[in-house]
Amino acid sequence: MKHLLLLLGSIAVSLTTGYRLPKSVMPESYRLEIITPFGEKDNFEFTGKVWIETSCVSPTTNITLHSKGLEIEENSLALKDISSKASKPVKGLKVTYEKEHDFLIILLEQSLTEDHRYEIHIPFKGKLDDSLAGFYRSSYKDSKTKEKKWLGVTQFEAVSARRAFPCFDEPAMKATFDISIARKEGYKSISNMPLLTTEPMKEKSGWYWDRFDVSVPMSTYLVAYVVSDFHYKEAEPLPDDKNNVTFRIWSREDALGQVDFAKEVGPKALRFFEKFFNIDYPLPKQDMVAIPDFSAGAMENWGLITYRESYLLYDPKVSTKTSQHGVASVIAHELAHQWFGNLVTMEWWTDLWLNEGFATYMASVAVDHLFPQWNSLEEEGATDILNVFSFDALKSSHPVSVPIGDPKEIDEIFDTISYKKGSSLLRMMSLFLGEETLRTGVSNYLRKNRYHNAEQDDLWQSLTEAAHKIGSLPKTLTVKIIMDTWTLQTGYPVIKVDRDYKNNSVEITQERFLRDTIKVKDEQRSCWWVPLSYSTKFNPDFQTTTPKYWLSCEYDEQKQVIEDLAKDDEWVVFNNKMAGIYKVNYDEKNWQLLIQALKEDLSKIPSLNRVQLIADAADLSYVGSLPYNTFFSMLDYLKKENEYLPWKTALGKADTLKNHLIANPIYGHFKSYMKSLVAPMYEKLGGLQMTKPEASDKLDKIKFQISVASRSCKYGVEKCIEDAKALFKKLQDSPDNSTLIPKDLSSIVYCTALTYGGEKEWNFLWQKYQRSNVASEKNSLLSVLGCTREIWLLNRYLDWSLNDDKIRRQDSSSVFSAVANNDVGYYVAKKFFFDNVKKIFKHVAPNKRRITRYLTSLTGHMQDEEELQELQHFIQENKENFSEVKKGVEQALETVKINTQWQAKHSKSIHDILLKLSQD
C-alpha cells in the first residue's frame, strides 16, 4: 500500500512540469489600471496597464508570465531593475508568445541578477465578450425604460485572470494588488479592497478614476472588480462584532428588494466562521454582488464575492423554502472560502478539494448553526455521501487529490469528488476524531499557513498534532496514514460482514465498490483505513461514531475478526450515523433480521442508518451482490416510515430503476407498484396543499411533501394529477393571484399541467418566465417548461436555449437537462445534441466543462448496446471538441456501458419480482 501511495505522489510531480511557469522570477506586487468602456455606445474594448514588482530567485535570461486574448503593446513594454533608489532600465527586450500554454515570454540579452528586484511594465488592450470568463460583459433590461444596461464583471478561477491582464496566473504566486478602475459618471466600480479615493480623469471629461486600497497577498484567481450601475444595501453591524466589517449586498435596482435575506445571513455566517476558526476575517469590508450572467454558482473573490442572482437574491413572497436554503448554503460556502482558499490557498490545483470540500462541509455546519429549525445538517451529510456513492463507483472517477498537469484539466475537477467527497471526508474525520480535534487542527493549520500556500500533508500534520495532544488518535497512528488511503486513491470500499452465528463473531473484509461488474485482470487492489463503528439490537450505540476498530491496510490479509459481537438472534448495523464513506454488505440472515426490525419498530434504527440500509441494499442489488428481492422486501417497510430522508433515498433509488425500465413491457407493473407506495403518503402529507402554517419553517417537512407529491403525479396517482390540473386552471383564470398555489409545490403543479396539456399551457408559463423578476422562480420555470410532451414545443425550446435573446447562456444546459429528463423529451434532446454539437460547443466556450452536463443528461437514459456504439461513434466523429472534457466523456461512456450490463443481468429477475408484487 505504501508503495502505491509513493507511486501516486511521484506521478503527481512528473505531471506538473512543462505547463507551469518557471520559478526564477516571482511576483511581489501588482499595480493595475483598467479603463472600462461602459457609457460609450457599442464599445466593449478595455485598455489597461500593469506594473509588476518581482524578485529574481535565480539568474535567468527570460521572464515568463501569462496572457490570453490580450493585445500587448510590445513597444511600450519596459523592464527596470529597482533594487536601489536609482532604478535602471533593462534594455534589449524581445517579446514572444507560446500560445498553447498562454505564455507571454520576455527575452533578455543579459541574465537577471539573483536577489535583485525588477519592475515589469506592460500596457495592453482587451475585449469584453460574453464568454462568462476573464473580464466579461453582462446585461439586464431596465424594467422602467426597457433599455438594455451593461456591466463588466470578472471571473478568474481557475486560469482566466490572464484574460484580463498579464500576470503570473498560478495560485502559489501570491502578491499584493493595487487596483485603479476608470469609469464613466453614472457607473460605480468595486474591487477586493475598499475604495480610497475617486478623482476626475484628466484625459476624458465625465470620467473618473476609482483608486482602491492595496490588498493582502493573494492569488490571481481571487482578484475581482465589477463596473455597473448597481445599488446596494448595507448590513447593520452585529451586536458582538468587534471586527467592524462593512457588509454590502449589491444588485440591479429592480432586484434590490430581494437582498434582505443575504444582508442578514452574510454577517452572521462570517461571525460564525471567525469564532469557529478562532481567526478574524482579515479585510475591512465584504461586498456580495448578484450578477445576471454568471457561469458558476458563485465565486469567492476575497472581499468581493460574485453570485448568480438565484444564489444571492430571495423574495419571501415568491421564492421557495428550498431556494432560501440554497441561498444560505451558497453564502456560507463562499464565506468559508475566505479562510479556506483565500487566507490559505492550495499550492496547485491538485488540492482543489482543500478549498471546495472544506467550504462545502463548513457551509453545512454554519447553516445548521444559523437555522437549526431547518434540520438540514443530516440531510446534507447524507445527500453528499449518496452522490459520492454514485459518482465514485465509476472506474473513470478520480482521486480527491488529483494529479493535474495541463491547466486545461482543471475545469473538469470542479465536480462531485472535489466538493462532495471532500466534504464527506471532513465530516468523517470530524466524527472519528471528534469536533474539538478537527477545530483545533484546522485553526492551527490556518494560522501556520496564513497568506501562503499549503498542501494536504500540511493539514494532516496539524490534525495529527491536535489528535495526539487531545488523545483522539493513538500515538502509533497519524491522520496522513489514514487519510492518504482516502484522498490518493479513487473510489471507496464495500465492507463485507460475514457473521459466525455459533461463535457470535464476525469476519470483515473490504474491496472497492464498482458499478461496472466486469473485473479487469491484474486490477490494482485498493485498501482503505476504515473506521468501524457498529450497533446491535441489544446495544444500539448509534450515537458513538469514534471507531471501535480500524480495518487497516497493514497486512496482506485484509480481513479482521471481531469477537463477541452479537447473539445469533440479534441484528448488527455497521457505520453508525453513516459516519464513514463505505457501503456494508451483510450475510442473508442479518439482512433479514434488519428488514424484520424495520417492519416491527423502525425507531430502533435511527434515520441516517435507515438511509444507509436502503441505499446499500439498492446499490448491492444493482451490481448483483444482493438479490433484488431483498431490496424490494426492504421497501415494504416504507408504509410505516414517516421521515423525509429514508423516503428521499428510496424514491431516488426507484428513479434509477424507472430509467432502466421505462421502455420495458413490465414498466406498467413498476408504475403500479410505485403508485401503491406513494399514494397513501401523498394523502397523509396533505397532497398539493400546505396544510399546517406552523410547519412553514420546517424545511425537511416541506421537502418531504415535495418529494412524495412530485413522484405521485409522475407515477400517475389520479388524485395528484386532478389536484394539479385544478390548481393550474385557477391560476390561468387569475394569473396575478400568487396565493392560489403553494409556492413550494408550484413546480409540481406546473410540470403536471404541461405533461397533460398543450401549447396554451406552455405559452402561459413561458410568459410567466419572461415577466418574472425573481431568478429562483425563473430557474424553476425553465425546468418545468421541459415537461411538455409536445415534440415541436420541445424542439423549439431547445432551439431557444442557444439564443441569448431568449435564454441566458448560463442557463442553456439547464434547459437541455429539463428536456432530456422528460420521457418523451429524451429522444428529442438526443437528436438535438447530435445535430447541433458544434453549435453547442461554441455556445458554452470557453467553459467546456458545461458540455459534460449535456452528456450526463443523456447517458442516464441510454440503455442498450446500440446506443453505446452510437455514442462512441458520435464522440469519435467530434473528438476535437470532446478532447477537453476527457473525464466527462469517459464517465458518460462508462455509465451507458453499466446501463447495458444492468439490462442483461437484471431485467428478467425484476420482471418476475414486479409480476409477483402485482399479484400480491
Catalytic site positions: 334
Work out the number of other CB atoms within 10 angstroms of the CB of residue 525.
11
Cβ–Cβ < 8 Å for 581, 424: yes
CA–CA distance, 823 with 838 (Å, rounded to integer): 25
Work out the number of other CB atoms within 10 angstroms of the CB of residue 900.
16
Vertex 128 angle, CA 125 and 133, to 5°: 110
Cβ–Cβ < 8 Å for 871, 838: no
3-class secondary-structure state, position 236:
coil
What nine digits make up the cell of 636?
415494504
CA–CA distance, 641 with 651 (Å, rounded to integer): 13
Could you give phi then psi for residue 94, rounded to 5 degrees? -125, 145
Q: To 10 degrees, what angle do helices 607-622 and 588-601 make?
A: 140
Nearest CA to 151 out of 188, 102, 199 is that of 188
Residues 6+ apart with CB under 8 A from 633: 595
Cβ–Cβ < 8 Å for 591, 617: yes
CA–CA distance, 906 with 860 (Å, rounded to integer): 17
What nine digits make up the cell of 556?
496482506
For 186-204, b/e burial (b = at least 16 CB within 10 A) is: ebbbbbbbeeeeeeeeeee
Cβ–Cβ < 8 Å for 583, 550: no
Dihedral, 315, 316, 319, 325 alpha carbons, nearest 10? 100
DSSP output for 642-705: --HHHHHHHHHHHHHHHHHHTTSTTHHHHHHHHHHHHHHHHHHHTTTS---GGGTT-HHHHHHH
CA–CA distance, 307 with 292 (Å, rounded to integer): 9
Dihedral, 274, 278, 284, 288 alpha carbons, nearest 10? -30
Could you give phi then psi for residue 534, rounded to 5 degrees? -155, 160
Cβ–Cβ < 8 Å for 532, 574: yes
Cβ–Cβ < 8 Å for 576, 542: yes
Residues 6+ apart with CB under 8 A from 348: 16, 170, 171, 172, 404
Nearest CA to 761 out of 729, 783, 717 is that of 729
* HSE (side-chain half, CA atoms, 13 Å) at 196: 11
What nine digits make up the cell of 826?
429524451
Could you give phi then psi for residue 716, rounded to 5 degrees? 85, 30
Q: Which residues pair with 54 in a beta bridge?
A: 27, 118
Residues 6+ apart with CB under 8 A from 292: 138, 139, 140, 151, 252, 309, 808
CA–CA distance, 157 with 171 (Å, rounded to integer): 10
For 97-127, b/e burial (b = at least 16 CB within 10 A) is: eeeebbbbebebeeebeeeebbbbebbbebb
CA–CA distance, 846 with 160 (Å, rounded to integer): 10
